Structure 1
Amino acid sequence: MRIDFGKINSGNTSNTALHPREIFTALPAKKEGKFEYPRDVQTQVWDHWFSRRDEKDLVVKMNTGSGKTVVGLLILKSCLNEGKGPAVFVVPDNYLVKQVVSEATNLGIEVTEDTNSPRFLSSRAILVVNIFKLVNGKSVFGVGDEGIKINIGSIIIDDAHACIDT
Structure 2
Amino acid sequence: MVLDLKKLKAGNSSKKQTDPRKIFTTLKRNPRFKRPSDEQGDVLDAWYEVRTQENVTLKMNTGSGKTIVGLLCLQSCLNESKGPAVYVVPDNFLITQVVAEAGDLGIAVTEDVESANFLSGEAILVINVWKLFNGKSKFGVGQGNSQIRIGSIVIDDAHACLATVADQFKIKLSGDHPAYGPLL
* Residue 119 of structure 2 corresponds to residue 121 of structure 1: yes
Match of 1:4 in 2: none
What's the RMSD between the two structures over aligned residues?
Answer: 1.6
Match of 1:17 in 2: 17
Q: Answer whether contact 2:136 2:142 (CA < 8 A) is retained.
A: no
Unmatched segments (≥5 aa) in structure 1: 1-8
Unmatched segments (≥5 aa) in structure 2: 1-12, 165-184
Match of 1:94 in 2: 92
- Identity, in percent, stands at 59
Residues 162 and 146 from structure 1, CA distance in 2 versus in 1: closer, same or farther, beyond 3 angstroms?
Answer: farther
- TM-score norm. by structure 2 comes to 0.79
Give the letter aligned to residue 19 of structure 1.
D
Structure 1 outlier segments of 4+, above 4 Å: 144-147
Deviation at 1:143, TM superposition (A): 1.5
Q: Larger Cα Rg: Structure 1 or Structure 2? A: 2
Give the letter aligned to residue 74 of structure 1.
L
Q: Answer whether contact 2:74 2:124 (CA < 8 A) is retained.
A: yes
Per the alignment, in what secondary structure is the counterpart of residue 99 of structure 1? Answer: helix
Q: How many residues are matched?
A: 152
Q: Answer whether contact 2:86 2:153 (CA < 8 A) is retained.
A: yes
For the residues of structure 2 that align with 1:164 and 1:98, how far apart are their CA atoms?
Answer: 20
Provide Cα deviations, 1:102-151, integer angstroms capped at 9, x if missing partner: 00000000000000000000000000000000000000112276672000
For the residues of structure 1 that align with 2:18 and 2:118, how far apart are their CA atoms?
Answer: 19
Residue correspondence of structure 1 range 12-161 to structure 2 within 5 A: 16-27=16-27, 29-32=28-31, 34-143=32-141, 148-161=146-159
Residues 87 and 77 from structure 1, CA distance in 2 versus in 1: closer, same or farther, beyond 3 angstroms?
Answer: same
Give the letter aligned to residue 39 of structure 2.
V
Provide Cα deviations, 1:37-56, integer angstroms capped at 9, x if missing partner: 11011110011000000000
Deviation at 1:16, TM superposition (A): 1.2
Per the alignment, in what secondary structure is the counterpart of residue 136 of structure 1? Answer: coil
Per the alignment, in what secondary structure is the counterpart of residue 143 of structure 1? Answer: coil
For the residues of structure 2 that align with 1:60 and 1:162, how far apart are their CA atoms?
Answer: 15
Match of 1:6 in 2: none
